[in-house]
Amino acid sequence: MKVAIVTFPGSNCDYDLYKCVQFIGGSPEFRWHQDSSLGNVDVVMLPGGFSYGDYLRAGAIASMSPIMEAVQIFANSGGPVLGICNGFQMLCEANLLPGALLRNESLLFSSKEVILRVENNSSIFTKSYEHHKTLRMPIAHAEGNYYADQEALDQLEKEGRVMFRYANQSGETTIESNPNGSVNNIAGIINTHGNVMGMMPHPERAVESVLGSVDGLDLFKSLLAHIVDPRPV
């Protein structure tokens, strides 16, 4: 699995993602925000961080950078694109995903371990997970409060495109388990064609037991399995 990891000025999870892809047996390659081509890769990943210092809005300037045209083309041709944290914000800003990430309800940066419930395990990103399995992984963001208007939200829900929701240990999606005020406890969504996913939590920080959780592993393994055997799931 050849993975292009795009570094923007201010990205700070690019290296973590690189190590993670290596760890699961993939071949990561960095791409620079000013590159105009992605090269021959199987997957594109947009890492977390503060691209362009979050100036204007988180992800807004990055979504206009030269490489994003190549990402658009890659995505439109069905290539898998994963955006994590700031990468999710970029995907929304680039209209590859619906909705927006607002300031956390608490107005504070929130860094902690959260519990996610797998909502849909029939995507190329989640097929290795059991349905409704609960996962532990860290969040670290100030703008992770997912919002979409009622129409877009209804569509997301109707089409089963919510991939992860914040939940408690028993797997219930309660107000208390929602760390940022996201509508319907949404932590991650996918596009209509099922090849572009964005999520606020950091699966790449949950791939080794020494880091406290290995629950992010199956996400990368799902992708790896898809690249090896790209039959529809």
x/- site string to another protein, residues 163 to 202, per CB under 8 A?
-----xx------xx-x----------------------x
What are the structure tokens assigned to 203, written together? 């699966």
DSSP string, 168-221: -TTS---STT-SS--GGGEEEEE-TTS-EEEESS-GGGSSBGGGTB-TTHHHHH
Indicate whether 25 belongs to the interface with another protein (CB under 8 A). no
Cβ count within 10 A of residue 64: 13
Indicate whether 53 belongs to the interface with another protein (CB under 8 A). yes
Indicate whether 88 belongs to the interface with another protein (CB under 8 A). no
Indicate whether 231 belongs to the interface with another protein (CB under 8 A). no
Calpha distance 33→96 (Å, rounded): 17
Indicate whether 54 belongs to the interface with another protein (CB under 8 A). yes
- Scanning 64-72, 124-132, 144-152, 205-213 for contacts with another protein by CB under 8 A, the matching segment is 205-213
Nearer to another protein, 98 or 179 (CB): 179
Calpha distance 48→223 (Å, rounded): 19
- Scanning 73-81, 127-135, 186-194, 204-212 for contacts with another protein by CB under 8 A, the matching segment is 204-212
Calpha distance 210→169 (Å, rounded): 21
